[in-house]
Structure 1
């Protein structure tokens, strides 16, 4: 019996499952090919290299982020992005590596830009800054959880995510305040608190 044929989407789905099972360090093209019961060379029909594959995996991870919606405030948008990153083992690291190489879509940044009021594209750098905060926070959190799971840190039974929600919410409140100073009139119209002007 010949091996099953796979399309791009099924390869990405399998890679995402393998990521969850074994983690990013053990997610190789050879291992993925074995999981799909194909030769490793068959994967290069869909992806020219591993980084392009990881970019597609990152896009799949972020597909859970809501579509850009000006009616959706920054905090719920940021939480949705964080939750998408944390939904898969090493998810934040995969998205980080893709973002660093400027690969993949900008779905998360577009959602953030819409939430903070993108007037003609002027929110781009602000959205990138918010995304990098969310990404860094999620990556730090995943590393702490992994370190505890393998006994690399002496947690004394402590939750490695302790205070992480408070830190995240404090960061998002800071971004909301900065966003209000950018467009105070829009903040009032949207029901978001406008920060005091200097």
Structure 2
């Protein structure tokens, strides 16, 4: 015999914000961002579409909440190991990329939102804090935050786009290789293996290294009083 607190048999679980959000993320993973609509979400929850607006006034509000959920725990990457600021910054960038890759079209969802939730702002504050602790001026710390976040999201956008086509299959780098080989692109031909490589982690790490070394050089210039700092 069921307890008094159990929902009547045959009825769906009670609708709430958390269940709505998790169902939306599940639909995103299964069908992608373009197929995620409020109507389909309502069908998956077995409710009328109007019921969703009790928790999310618009689809944009839903996407913002999804982006915020993706950033849960990412800031914790700053506490791994005893590395200096550069290692902490790289760890945070890697953790952000991993979080976005954990969901189909994760970078597209995040790029279209501007969450002011605890997870997103906590990550931003952590990155800025790492930079300030390293001796960067306050303004540079925030600009470094934007640069790292924009690079990470932009890279992951391209990475996820390259890994899927309309039919869900991987993109074929042979098309790019054939086009470059047949054209007058001598410099691209010289680096063709890297140009057509699907090693996105290596490409990401190269970019992170460039950012770190650029920031390191900027700090040295600032400390030395160089007008180019």
TM-score greater than 0.5 by the shorter chain = yes
Superposition deviation, residue 177 in structure 1: 1.7
User: Which structure 2 residue ranges, 5 or more long, are not aligned?
Assistant: 1-9, 178-195, 221-227
Number of residue pairs matched by the alignment: 183
User: Which structure 1 residue ranges, 5 or more long, are not aligned?
Assistant: 185-196
Distance in 2, Cα, partners of 1:161 & 1:111: 33
CA contact (8 A) 2:23 2:41 kept: yes
CA offsets, 1:32-82, max 9 Å, x none?
011011100000000110000000000111114124847661111111000
Superposition deviation, residue 152 in structure 1: 7.8
Helix, strand or coil at the partner of 1:175: helix
Tell me: CA distance 1:3–1:163, structure 2 relative to 1, closer, same or farther (3 Å): closer
Distance in 2, Cα, partners of 1:127 & 1:161: 28
Counterpart of 1:66 in structure 2 is 75
CA contact (8 A) 1:96 1:135 kept: yes
Counterpart of 2:22 in structure 1 is 13
Q: TM-score, normalised by structure 1?
A: 0.79
Distance in 2, Cα, partners of 1:142 & 1:59: 19
1:46-57 matches, cutoff 5 A: 46-57=55-66
Tell me: CA distance 1:149–1:78, structure 2 relative to 1, closer, same or farther (3 Å): farther
Structure of higher RCO (CA pairs closer than 8 Å, 6+ residues apart) = 1
Counterpart of 2:209 in structure 1 is 173
1:96 to 89, 99, 111: 111
Distance in 2, Cα, partners of 1:6 & 1:18: 16
Tell me: CA distance 1:149–1:116, structure 2 relative to 1, closer, same or farther (3 Å): farther
Distance in 2, Cα, partners of 1:163 & 1:68: 23
| Aligned-pair Cα RMSD in Å | 2.9
Q: TM-score, normalised by structure 2?
A: 0.69
